[in-house]
Amino acid sequence: MKILIDIGHPAHVHLFKHFAHEMINKNHQVHFTFRGREFINSLLITEGFSFTFLGKGYKSGAGKIWGLFKFTWLLLLESLIFKPDIFLSHGSMYAAFTAFLLHKRHIAFEDTFNFEQIRLYKPFTKHILTSDYKHPLASKKVIHYASYNELAYLHPKRFTPDISVLNDLGVKKDEKFIIMRFVSWNASHDIGHSGLSIENKIKAINSFKHFARVFISSESPLSDELEKYRINIAPSRIHDALAYADLLFGESSTMAEEAALLGVPAIYIKDNNTIYTKHLEKDFGLMYNYSESLIEQLKAIEKGVEVLKNPSIKKDWESKRHDLLRKKIDLSGFLVWFIENYPGSVKTIKENPEYQYNFM
């Protein structure tokens, strides 16, 4: 079987990497395509995957419309060479359109529920895989799984943090540290958002540094005042660092979700917080959601200080994480079975949803 996986975000490399390695070991062919975004190229090289870079993305509205045609065309040309049997993505419009043009099946993952994107790819997508918490995506195409995308690579079967990352960071074993994550706000679903103000980024650092070392991971350039805090490790090591952190604070839903699933307190700041992050807060108490208003930003900073001052926080969060993991499957193992047995696997899982618990 030939499988083409289209990548739109660094986290999508992690989502598919264990699946891809297992499929390759089973003598299937897997090829990745992507557009320019922070760290994707480095991650694909680190994993040793075959891939094609389709070009840099666009930031403006007009550019994104042009890119829809341009990147679909480039992906179509690449697909005519690779000749995939199936397309996989995390809600990629380009993969959906190309699969439709080639009369192939596109299977999408979805956990952001940005309907401006879903409306574009859904008509051209055969099945959409989503988690089983309550969300607004209702369709005969939807297949629910008892897991989260991040558990494709952060499930205990897939990930054991490497403590040597502390040496890379220059952090002592018993020294507290936090990771602050700032995003570029260039995605289509980021229009109208600006995140933390520069003043509150500085205020947060000045508040946190009394209790822990501060590291910043940022998609955008940093001012001289903030640059000195930039985390300086290989992109492939970020989850090792995150697993040993005492707090994740910032604007990235992905890293907040990753932190929560690693048992690390996460504070996420964005207007209209995602359904997923709200679920992790309400149902498992693993994170905190705040809006972008200046008052909420200050509340988020206060909460961060509270977390850092709590001596039992790591024990409390590990207990919450254990409670979550008892109910969730190894998503990579499930996906290998699902694709290898597709389309028969669709009938199996729809008739007997409990079958997925074979992948605990």
Q: Is the pLDDT confidence value at 283 over 50? A: yes
* Average pLDDT taken over every residue of the chain: 93
| Same domain (yes/no): 180, 235 | yes
| CATH of residue 183 | 3.40.50.2000
Q: What is the pLDDT of residues 63-96, one digit of tens each?
A: 778 878 899 999 999 999 999 999 999 999 999 9
Same domain, 64 and 202: no
Same domain, 142 and 200: no
Residues 244 and 200 grouped into a single domain? yes
Domain that holds residue 300: 165-324
Q: What is the pLDDT of residues 317-331, one digit of tens each?
A: 999 999 999 999 999
| Neighbour order of strands in the sheet with 266-269 | 213-218, 177-182, 247-250, 266-269, 287-290
- Number of compact structural domains in the chain: 2
Residue 337: alpha-carbon gap to chain centroid: 22
Q: How far apart are the first and last CA of the chain?
A: 26
Based on the domain organization, do 133 and 86 belong to the same domain? yes
Threshold 0.85, pTM exceeds: yes
Q: Is residue 113 part of a domain?
A: yes
DSSP symbol at 28: -
Q: What is the pLDDT of residue 62?
A: 81
pLDDT tens across 188-240, in order?
444 444 578 889 999 999 999 999 999 999 988 888 889 999 999 998 999 99
Strand spans (E) along 146-253: 177-182, 213-218, 247-250
Q: Are residues 19 and 132 in the same domain?
A: yes
Q: Please check whether residue 155 is in contact with residue 263, taking contact to mean a CB–CB distance below 8 angstroms.
A: no
Q: Report if residue 160 sits inside a domain.
A: no
pLDDT of residue 314: 92
